[in-house]
Amino acid sequence: MGCDRVMIIETLSTFPHMYDSVMGSSMMRIAQEKGLLDFCAYDLRDWTHDRHRTTDDDPYGGGAGLVMKCEPIYEAYQAITGIDVGLPPVQLTGNEQPTTGPAPRHANGLRPKTVFLTPCGCVFDDACAAELAREERLLFVCGHYEGIDERAYELADYCISIGDYVLTSGELASMVVIDAVVRKIDGVLGAEGGALDESFVEGLLEHPQYTRPAQFMGREVPDVLLSGDHAAIARWKREQALQRTAELRPDMLERASLTADDLKFLKTSFG
């Protein structure tokens, strides 16, 4: 993705203000200031019509918790994307209100790829982040409560899980995905190629990092990093990455792109 391209990321959720801190800080804020990211968080309640702005209801068949309704999700999706999903005109009764809130910013623009955060999705990893970073527009639909009406998933291009555990809301999960995606946009990170020299990019954990001072409480920075020998430093970094991965995440080695020298080092070090 070139620096002259703006990625559009939108979210649809019941608690849009949860994004204020994360998207207004650090690299997410810088990406927007540089004009590389256009972010907008929409409130699903703006597409409800009752005075309580209800987005959930009891599940059919019984069970604990509440399920997010599909009607406001479809109505919001149609408004945000400008895509006609065949919704019939909303018939308001005397106790209902028309939709409120700001008009969608890109309703007549490029069709977004729509991402649902769900335990049933593919497990999120660096390869998935790289794939999403190549898109021009992403819309994240975030669940809450017990889950989302199954019929809403027909709108999804991607269903993603960030791990085998349960969170209170999809907003939290989407923040993880958005952060991992945005940092891959060209020009976001200050150091050129910074995103290329990180854990998981080459299927390995990253090597140890050090900075000043060279000595601290009797602990010294490895001599090779102070040597100025760039070939030796590169070799040390690679071997440290291999060693750390073998010790902490040996499962990753099965998927990593390893050279003959890498295999020789691993055999010598770990048998």
Q: What per-residue confidence (pLDDT) applies to 233?
A: 97
Q: Kindly give the parts of the chain with pLDDT less than 70.
A: 1-4, 191-199
CA-to-CA dists, residue 166 to 11, 117, 153, 161, 219, angstroms: 20, 11, 19, 10, 40
Q: What per-residue confidence (pLDDT) applies to 1?
A: 44
Kindly report, residue by residue over 131-189, the tens digit of the pLDDT.
Answer: 999 999 999 999 887 789 999 999 999 999 999 998 988 999 999 999 999 999 999 99
CATH number for region 197-270: 1.10.1270.20
Q: Check residue 73 and report its DSSP letter.
A: H
Who contacts 128 (Cβ-Cβ below 8 Å, separation ≥6)? 122, 158, 160
Ranges of beta strands (E only) in 60-210 are 67-68, 113-123, 137-141, 147-148, 158-161
Residue span(s) of the chain under CATH 1.10.1270.20 come to: 197-270
d(Cα 125, Cα 162) in Å, to the nearest integer? 8
Tell me which architecture the domain covering 7-182 has in CATH. 3-Layer(aba) Sandwich (3.40)
Residue span(s) of the chain under CATH 3.40.1280.10 come to: 7-182
